[in-house]
Amino acid sequence: MLQNVKDVLIGRHSGSESTEGAGATAFGMSFALKAGAHATIESASLSLRLHSTWTTDHAADLAATESRSLQALAKAAAKAGIECIAHTPDRDFDAFLGSFVVQARLHDVTILDAEPRALANGRRLIEGSLTQSGRPLIVVPPGCTEFANRNILVAWDGSATAARAVNDALPLLRTAANVHVVSVTGEKILPALAAQAGLISHLGCHGIWAVERRLAVRNGDVAQTLRDAARDQTDLIIMGGIAHGRVRDLILGGVTQSLLSDSPVPLFMSH
């Protein structure tokens, strides 16, 4: 049982569940079952504004199909012992995104499918949830349909976002068998590396036994170094979602963007 996780928000965007290997819904249900948490599924049946009669009718058909699919999911969840509600809001994607972020603020964790395309609506949903909800987000790569937290890699750079991610992930860390606190060295000077041992001590105060690891950056690519480390029996990466302010926009940092595009395991992220 994952303590202090009481409700989970699962997002589906147009095409996410029809894409081969996408599995945030199944992963989210597995997570909710392990946590004993209530699950809410929000689905954007459409990602575009449609105007013609044919596209409007087609949109209605798609929305009806998605609604039936969600109701079937809710019934299956109930049989598995998961309290679940599901919604298919009848609105365009921009309106859905704003509503979804508000819902994310009211749940302990949000779960979404990964989206490798930086300008796709799925990535907008990820970035909005991460930077505007104030809640942790789990991004699920293709083919991952079962939640597991036996082996966790904490990507530690000493930043405030990394510290928040670790704190948000304490319920998962407490029930993990193996926790590795990994810092990548050589790409830039990280004064907080000295605090890595302090993080190990801090986790110990919470009853979490963790191992300290320092990895030399490979070819100047921190994200690839973390990907390579995670391929070795890792179930989950915990990391801060770094963002840089530019005019009015929040642009996610290079390491964050790279791992959002390609990660071998789910990412537990906070901002």
**Dist. CA 262–CA 24, nearest whole Å:** 15
CB burial of residue 251 (10 Å; 0-12, 13-18, 19+): middle
Does residue 21 contact residue 143 with C-beta atoms inside 8 Å? yes
Q: What is the pLDDT of residue 211?
A: 96
**Dist. CA 53–CA 59, nearest whole Å:** 10
Convert the pLDDT of each residue in 131-176 to its tens digit: 999 999 999 999 999 999 999 999 998 889 999 999 999 999 999 9
Q: What is the pLDDT of residue 69?
A: 75
Q: What is the pLDDT of residue 141?
A: 96
Overall pTM surpassing 0.85 (yes/no): yes
- The identity of residue 194, as a single letter, is A
Q: What is the pLDDT of residue 189?
A: 56
For every residue of 204-260, DSSP letters joined together read HHTT--EEEEEEEPBTTBHHHHHHHHHTTT-SEEEEE--EEEETTEEEEPHHHHHHH
**Dist. CA 30–CA 34, nearest whole Å:** 6
The three-class DSSP label of residue 54 is: helix
- The identity of residue 121, as a single letter, is N
The helix (run of H) or strand (run of E) holding residue 199 is: helix 196-205
Q: What is the pLDDT of residue 163?
A: 95
Q: Which residues pair with 154 in a beta bridge?
A: 181, 238
Q: Kindly give, in sequence order, each residue whose CB lies less than 8 Å from that of residue 170, ignoring residues fewer than 6 positions away.
A: 4, 206, 208
Q: What is the pLDDT of residue 18?
A: 42
Tokens linked to 55:
């596209």
> Mean pLDDT per 10-residue run, the chain (271 residues)?
90 58 85 95 64 52 69 79 83 87 97 91 93 97 95 94 96 97 77 78 97 91 95 94 52 80 96 93
Does residue 140 contact residue 8 with C-beta atoms inside 8 Å? no
**Dist. CA 126–CA 226, nearest whole Å:** 20
For every residue of 70-129, DSSP letters joined together read HHHHHHHHHHTT--EEEE---S-HHHHHHHHHHHHTTSSEEEEE----TTSHHHHHHHHH
φ/ψ of 269, rounded to 5, equals: -130, 145
